[in-house]
Amino acid sequence: MSFYYVKKSDPLCGRITVSGAKNAALPAIAATLLTDDTCTLSRIPNLSDISVMTDIVSFLGADIQNTKKGVFEITPNIKRITAPQELCGRLRASSLFMGPLLAKYKRAKIPLPGGCSIGSRPIDLHLKGFAAMGADITVSHGFVSVSAPRLSGADIYLDFPSVGATENIMMAATLADGKTVIENAAAEPEISDLAAMLRKMGAKISGAGSDKILIEGTYSLHSCNHKIIPDRIEAGTFMTAAAMTNGKITLCGVSPSHLRPFSAKLCEMGAEISEGTNEISVDCGRRMSSCSIKTLPYPGFPTDMQAQFCALLSTVPGTGIITETVFENRFLHIDELCRMGADIKTDGRSAVIRGGRLTGANVKATDLRAGAALTLAGLAASGETEVSEIEHIERGYEDFPEKLRALGANIEKNET
Ligand code: EPZ
């Protein structure tokens, strides 16, 4: 079993380049099924989630060439419309195949994505959108089947600005008959990136990045060459690592505007931040102080940065309150942080965090971002920390220990 061995580290310093965004690459891979042509995707991060997604596409019949680091050429050649249970069970984002298969091949059969540690993760909003566009939907034996001879454009209001539902409905609508309007749509940068790729393929989409997206259906889509946006959550995770060690780092290859929700919070805590066109520098040398956070859909503070900030607030003077409004069970890292000496009291969806000193301990990654948070905590804690179940972390962070070591962190990956 692999684990990270982490020791208290000096202030992080130096510069690293951020990888492509996992949460933009996954829908982009699904979107390639909307055409018969070959699509080239670049800046695809080398992650286990990406491998599972490309394995599913291969299973469905596609030809995939990983021509060089981070570059994939995908030619659909779809022969099946049923995605494999064993692969889909490992990746919730497999639900994103429904929209493209339904639109291009008139049907799809996908295993119902199970819940995960952070919540039940339903797909009712995805299905509500497909039904509004005329699809027949049946759920049986753990699979959801969707079918429609031809989708029709529809006006769809999302009860919650779901990222996945917005992506799935937007992809399906590109080949529907007529106009689709998605209201209360998610506005995350990953939505805008998917829309940019779809427009390169010939889709007619406007409003992506706002809460109202308009899609004018077209008859077919063609090939494209698309470079994935940088990973804002990876960038935020390293910014948080700098803050936890009073370091000063520069992140290259980022989109600073995507980082604003947590850049602003770090400035509020005492960090000095300077933005370039594609880079951001974070100086946390001065004494940091606590703050309070409420996670919200973009452009609010991202839920995917909540665990990392829990760890940060555990180490800075003062008391802060973190409220998680997006997922119902996203505090699993707190028990593990408390084993490191953190003073955190939870009450429902809120956590009161009193900053203090952490001590190293053996802790367990319960999910992707919790694992990252515990690794950062180990950089600030006195003594040694072992983070186990790091396969969760390696789903979403490319070369995580290597990048941290490049900034001066005391971390290595060991096997038992
Ligand atoms: C995406 O998940 C991301 N994953 C998540 O990142 C991220 O935390 C989340 O968006 C929110 O930003 C990918 O993009 C692959 P949602 P998604 O649909 O699309 C409820 C990470 O760490 N909901 O916006 O599944 C749902 O239960 C991962 O990289 C419904 O009720 O998130 C949740 O409470 C974790 N019905 C809320 O909406 C639905 O049909 C947000 O879910 C869909 C969602």
Q: What's the gap in Å between 288 CA and the centre of ligand 1?
A: 31
Q: What's the gap in Å between 213 CA and the centre of ligand 1?
A: 18
Residue 328 in contact with residue 354, Cβ under 8 Å? no
What value does the mean pLDDT take over residues 57-68?
97
Amino acid symbol at 408: G
d(CA 42, CA 49) in angstroms, rounded, equals 16
d(CA 138, CA 254) in angstroms, rounded, equals 42
- pLDDT tens string 345-377: 999 999 999 999 999 999 999 999 999 999 999
Does 165 sit in the ligand 1 pocket, CB within 6 Å?
yes
Q: 324-327: list long-range contacts, CB under 8 Å, 24+ apart.
A: 324/295, 324/349, 324/350, 324/351, 325/294, 325/295, 325/296, 325/349, 326/295, 326/296, 326/297, 327/118, 327/119, 327/303
| Residue of 116, 125, 128, 162 best suited for mutating to test ligand 1, as the one with most atoms within 8 Å of CB | 162
Q: Edge to edge, what strands does the sheet with 272-275 contain? A: 13-17, 248-252, 279-283, 272-275
Ligand 1 atom nearest to CA at 126: 40
Confidence of residue 416 (pLDDT cuts 50, 70, 90): confident
**Least confident interval from 186-190, 216-220, 244-248, 327-331:** 327-331
Residue with tokens 């984002």: 93
Which pLDDT does position 85 carry in this prediction? 92
Q: Phi and psi of 20, rounded to 5°?
A: -65, 155
| Percentage of the chain exceeding pLDDT 90 | 94
Q: Is 278 helix (H, G, I), strand (E, B) or coil?
A: coil
Which pLDDT does position 114 carry in this prediction? 66
| Percentage of the chain exceeding pLDDT 70 | 100
d(CA 181, CA 178) in angstroms, rounded, equals 10
The domains located in the chain, with CATH, are 2-19+230-415 (3.65.10.10), 22-227 (3.65.10.10)
Which pLDDT does position 169 carry in this prediction? 98
- pLDDT tens string 292-331: 999 999 999 999 999 999 999 999 999 999 999 999 989 9
What are the structure tokens assigned to 289, written together?
A: 């102080």
Does 250 sit in the ligand 1 pocket, CB within 6 Å?
no
What value does the mean pLDDT take over residues 9-27?
98
Does 45 sit in the ligand 1 pocket, CB within 6 Å?
no
pLDDT at 116 over 80: no
Q: Which of 39, 88, 116, 338 is catalytic?
A: 116
Which helix (H) or strand (E) element contains residue 138?
strand 136-140
CB atoms within 10 A of CB 415: 6
Confidence of residue 147 (pLDDT cuts 50, 70, 90): very high
